[in-house]
């Protein structure tokens, strides 16, 4: 289960990132680097994590015209991360071009291709907030449609709420990865997350990877919080 917990390094600078990684010791193997830390460390956090032999999910959610996303995907692959994501809302052509870019660079540089993951509807959206964007389909319908499109474009999986994981597995197959933020142990604050589940429920509902941020990085005892989450995941 430890391999399936991804801790979101949502911290304001490199020193805070290093501090958290040190506190979490060998308990945490996989880290997610998002916009905040990637930008404020100018990418340096990636080198630090690699030096520490950690696995890296680069969460920059590329969403642009196909050509631009293909170029960005080449650079992400070159960094040697284990997983990165593009936004499913960018459409099938964009997704396909990202996949081709990953394959091209992995072959050229003789490296393992990172998992390419499509972001579906953000877990901070409620049905009401989502409708206000003009979508005519519900969140679950949209997530399913985008997951199928990602599968067709050759992606390895999607980011979704754990609430949607089971249906995605049914539609796209057991080997199509579900990467799920919106995980909250029972006693934790929800913050801005709306479509949440506990670690145990998430694993039971088909989530392959659990992305957890504030319940660990804002905890008074992050190591204990991470241990408790892994224990809960194992209880499924
Ligand atoms: O603090 P919390 O556990 O809510 O952190 C969740 C992390 O997952 C954040 O870094 C957020 O950017 C990310 N994320 C998300 N919803 C998505 C994709 C990524 O919350 N659909």
Cα–Cα separations (whole angstroms), residue 217 to 40, 66, 98, 116, 206: 17, 35, 31, 25, 24
- 79 touches ligand 1 (CB under 6 Å): no
Residue 222: is its pLDDT beyond 80? Answer: yes
- 10 touches ligand 1 (CB under 6 Å): yes
d(CA 14, CA 37): 7
Query: Is residue 61 annotated as a catalytic residue, yes or no?
Result: yes
Q: In this predicted model, what pLDDT tens digit does every residue of 130-185 receive, in sequence order?
A: 999 999 999 999 999 999 999 999 999 999 999 999 999 999 999 999 999 999 99
Residue 216 domain flag: yes
- Cross-strand partners of 83: 57, 115
d(CA 58, CA 50): 12
Residue from 6, 8, 3, 22 nearest 191 by CA: 8
Q: Which residue has the tokens 């509807």?
A: 121
Q: What percent of the chain has pLDDT over 90?
A: 93
Residue 236 domain flag: no
pLDDT of residue 186: 82
Instruction: Out of 28, 211, 215, give the residue to mutate to test ligand 1, the one with the largest number of ligand atoms within 8 Å of its CB.
Output: 211
Give residue 39's domain range.
2-231
User: For residues 194 and 67, which has the higher predicted lDDT (pLDDT)?
Assistant: 67
Residue nearest to atom 15 of ligand 1 (CA): 181
Q: In this predicted model, what pLDDT tens digit does every residue of 65-104 receive, in sequence order?
A: 999 999 999 999 999 999 999 999 999 999 999 999 999 9
* Per-residue confidence band for 111, with pLDDT thresholds at 50, 70 and 90: very high
**Ligand 1 mean position, distance from CA 106 (Å):** 27
Residue 16 domain flag: yes
- CATH code at 213? 3.20.20.70
**Ligand 1 mean position, distance from CA 113 (Å):** 23
* Per-residue confidence band for 57, with pLDDT thresholds at 50, 70 and 90: very high
Q: In this predicted model, what pLDDT tens digit does every residue of 14-28 receive, in sequence order?
A: 999 999 999 999 999
Residue 224: is its pLDDT beyond 80? Answer: yes
Tokens standing for residue 145 = 């449609």
- 34 touches ligand 1 (CB under 6 Å): yes
- Its pTM stands at 0.95
- 216 touches ligand 1 (CB under 6 Å): no
* Per-residue confidence band for 236, with pLDDT thresholds at 50, 70 and 90: confident
Catalytic residue among 16, 50, 61, 151: 61
Residue from 203, 229, 207 nearest 216 by CA: 229
pLDDT of residue 195: 79
Element (H, E) at 162: none
Residue 13 domain flag: yes
- 73 touches ligand 1 (CB under 6 Å): no
pLDDT of residue 31: 98
Measured from the Cα of 122, ligand 1's closest atom is 21
Tokens standing for residue 47 = 């080198």
- Cross-strand partners of 159: 119, 179
Number of domains present in the structure of the chain: 1
Element (H, E) at 7: strand 5-8
Residue 50 domain flag: yes
d(CA 60, CA 29): 20
* Per-residue confidence band for 129, with pLDDT thresholds at 50, 70 and 90: very high
């Amino acid at each position: 289960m430890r391999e399936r917990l991804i801790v979101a390094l949502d911290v304001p600078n490199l020193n805070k990132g290093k501090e958290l990684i040190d506190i979490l010791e060998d308990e945490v193997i996989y880290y997610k680097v998002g916009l905040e830390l990637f930008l404020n460390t100018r990418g340096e956090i990636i080198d630090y994590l690699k030096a520490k032999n950690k696995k890296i999910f680069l969460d920059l959610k590329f969403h642009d015209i196909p050509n631009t996303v293909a170029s960005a995907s080449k650079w992400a692959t070159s960094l040697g991360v284990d997983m990165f994501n593009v936004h499913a809302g960018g459409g099938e052509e964009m997704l396909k071009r990202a996949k081709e870019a990953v394959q091209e660079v992995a072959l050229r540089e003789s490296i393992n291709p990172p998992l390419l993951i499509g972001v579906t509807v953000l877990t901070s959206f409620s049905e009401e907030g989502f409708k206000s964007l003009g979508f005519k389909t519900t969140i679950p319908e949209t997530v399913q449609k985008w997951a199928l499109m990602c599968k067709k474009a050759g992606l390895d999986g999607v980011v979704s709420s754990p609430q949607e994981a089971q249906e995605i597995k049914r539609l796209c197959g057991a080997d199509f990865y579900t990467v799920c933020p919106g995980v909250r142990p029972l006693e934790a604050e929800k913050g801005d997350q709306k479509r949440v589940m506990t670690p145990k429920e998430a694993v039971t509902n088909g989530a392959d990877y659990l992305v957890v941020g504030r319940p660990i990085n804002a905890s008074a005892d992050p190591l204990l919080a991470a241990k408790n989450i892994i224990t809960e995941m194992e209880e499924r």
